[in-house]
Structure 1
């Protein structure tokens, strides 16, 4: 019995040592080359015209396999040292920060959001889980260039709501009961940021993303803007280098574990990856989980990115920002961009990456 136990512990130790984790710098694995990589670059890095901002305009493409960099390229003004605007990847970052707080027993998914943010007192049925599913029931218009005068998010970020974004979101009327229907909303994400402040108190809140998440992962150059009320703009305004964002992807590809520490509880990561039951196929470009996007077939509809495995999930942002996580392939892919015309396709990039990384 003792001999078997010692053999088991030895195998566990050898497996742990074999895993690659970044220190101050990422280690590099065998770089991918060949015609499939050229085809990937043809798609991702066409010649760009900064005067028109048309076409696919990739700023950074970074591929991590099994904890090592196997491909990295930058364009435009972006370099490996550039903290890039992530836009709505910030939403998934806030979900990851909340996962640490969840592991500290600061809240439960079924807790009323008003317990932590009093302007939601008139919505006693609204739960933290509902906000994470973009299912608050708040009547919100997530339009940008296409209908700016009717846009809730434009007003929140740039005009009458910008000083206190969570309060602006909370002041909107309802169109449905909480938890019943999906409607993508940057307002929901900023309500989560305000709720986190209520969980922690203002003093600890001010540096919590750093102490809870960034510093344990070795992220040294993150910037996260707040509004005038001191609340993080969870919807939009986190900035990270591609290599630093890839650390978050590695955390997620390894089920919330960072080296020998379970930084995110496994049930939290499972919640992130579980489709929202109230989502109807075709409502968005991917299937919503717990503030992450999933490559799942729903109600007979095909998966959003058929070229990628069904366990693929992602954090996505405006103008082509993406963090793709593929656990079955041990892959993390970071793409930063300045796409303005909607020509970029997630499935096309994923198809070319997966072909390029084949042995």
Structure 2
């Protein structure tokens, strides 16, 4: 009997210790489920049951119970009734996870948008696609490659789009997804945010050697040496922990912070600029905050990405969600249809020229595709590279916007091609090497 009591006592102590250690994580779990459900239901117009049973069927997140309220456009989630988190949706700004500082989304200012539809086909308009057959494209082989990728239940691909010489030559969607479904790009949003600095450089003459800590934050010491270039290349030397499986800098920022632009700014300098390369979502949101300070009003800041990039090239489905302080979450929360993500890739394929309208300087493409020191040739400036053959069988000039769960916009200049893949499962480099390689082989 004594042994049973001791065993029970040890089990109880163990459960208490486990609960004490993991209880704070429940905040992040329920926060993710609440925010993701609200965005998918009210922004992407997807079915709540499908999101809960499929999208949230991942380790830890599947512990949460989430439900959406269509009447007040909000979603709440908890883990076994604990740590309830609430997200609310506002048209034009997206869904935002509330916290103890902000109980609701009450912003009166939303982006002013010009979403006028023209009569041109894709990519320069939104009136269908060109129905031209190219003699050097093996359409049957391409159909087979795309269909096989969509049928792979392990890879969980949701859409695949291939654009060659400005024409869609292949397009496939998974169950409940269509050409009109908005899909979260996750960190592909970083490439959108980085592009806004290319536009600022071209139109306003902002220098990439600009030192925001010195100019905007009146900071002396090591931080004052950090430039926009260092931030765009993720080599500022600021401390950052990008770990999504524990309580870390990035999870605290995304699921606890009201002002996400401050998370990276508040961290210490651990190395002089350029001495280390450290991928950081906090850096992208810091850049979003710095961008906001370039405009005299909040309205002008909210209008800028839409007027100068998104609506300007007809990506009318796109929306970048904001945090509780009204900053664009440039690290993670950009939504668009697969075709509109492809338009973004085509803008880069054409080196900033959009059907005669120059969006950013030709030289900007050279800048963002120049390998950043210590990244092993895999990173430029808010874009990922194949400069040193991360994908050994693919062209070295390939570069891409990358996001969580295998979201990708691949730009392949030497093949005059853009490929978009969205899904629900992270892909290995080997998988992408094979998939993109098989697609390229269908062009004779």
TM over 0.5: yes
Moved more, 89-98 or 166-175: 166-175
Q: Which has the larger radius of gyration?
A: 2
Deviation at 1:214, TM superposition (A): 1.0
Distance apart, 1:249 and its partner CA? 0.7
Structure 1's 75 and 117: CA in aligned 2 closer, same or farther, altered over 3 A? farther
Q: Name the count of aligned residue pairs.
A: 318
Task: Report what 1:152 is aligned to.
Answer: 249
Counterpart-to-counterpart distance in 2, 1:23 and 1:180: 44
Measure the CA separation in 2 of the matches of 1:280 and 1:258.
31
Mapped pair 1:60 → 2:159: yes
Shift of 1:344: 7.3
Q: Which runs of 5+ in 2 are unaligned?
A: 1-121
Aligned equivalent of 2:319: 223
Closer, same or farther in 2 for the Cα pair 1:195/1:329, shift >3 Å? same
Matches within 5 A, 1:155-304: 155-159=252-256, 162-201=257-296, 202-276=298-372, 278-281=373-376, 287-297=378-388, 303-304=389-390
Offset of residue 343 of structure 1: 8.8
- Contact kept? 1:40, 1:352, Cα under 8 Å: no
Q: Per-residue displacement from partner, 1:189-230 (whole Å, max 9, x unpaired)?
A: 111111111112323101111001012101111111111111
Whether contact under 8 Å (1:78, 1:84) holds in the other structure is: no
Name stretches of at least 5 consecutive residues in structure 1 with no aligned partner: 1-19, 49-54, 298-302
In 1, Cα distance between equivalents of 2:427 and 2:352: 35
The 1:192/1:355 distance shift into structure 2, 3 A limit, reads same
Query: What secondary structure, in the 3-state scheme, does the structure 2 residue paired with 1:332 have?
Result: strand
Identify which range, 93-102 or 308-317, moves more after superposition: 93-102
On the 8 A contact 1:113/1:120 being kept in 2, the answer is no
Q: 2:410 aligns with which of 324, 327, 336?
A: 324
| Change over 3 Å in CA distance of 1:272–1:212 after alignment to 2 | same
Q: Compared with structure 1, are the counterparts of its residues 344 and 310 closer, same or farther at alpha carbon in structure 2 (3 Å cutoff)?
A: closer
- RMSD after superposition: 2.1
Residue in structure 2 matched with residue 73 of structure 1 by the alignment: 172
Alpha-carbon distance in structure 1 between the residues aligned to 2:227 and 2:427: 36
List structure 1 runs of 4+ shifted beyond 6 angstroms: none
Which structure exhibits the higher relative contact order, with contacts defined as CA atoms closer than 8 Å and separated by 6 or more residues?
1
Instruction: Give the 3 Å change call, closer, same or farther, for CA 290–26 of structure 1 in structure 2.
Output: farther
Kept in 2: contact 1:87–1:317 (CA 8 A)? yes
Give the alignment's TM-score, normalised by structure 2: 0.68
Distance 1:132 1:225 in 2: 20
User: 1:41 maps to what in 2?
Assistant: 147
| Conservation of the 8 A alpha-carbon contact between 1:119 and 1:167 | no
Distance (Å, rounded) in 1 between the aligned partners of 2:196 and 2:127: 22
How far apart in 2 are the matches of 1:198 and 1:216? 22
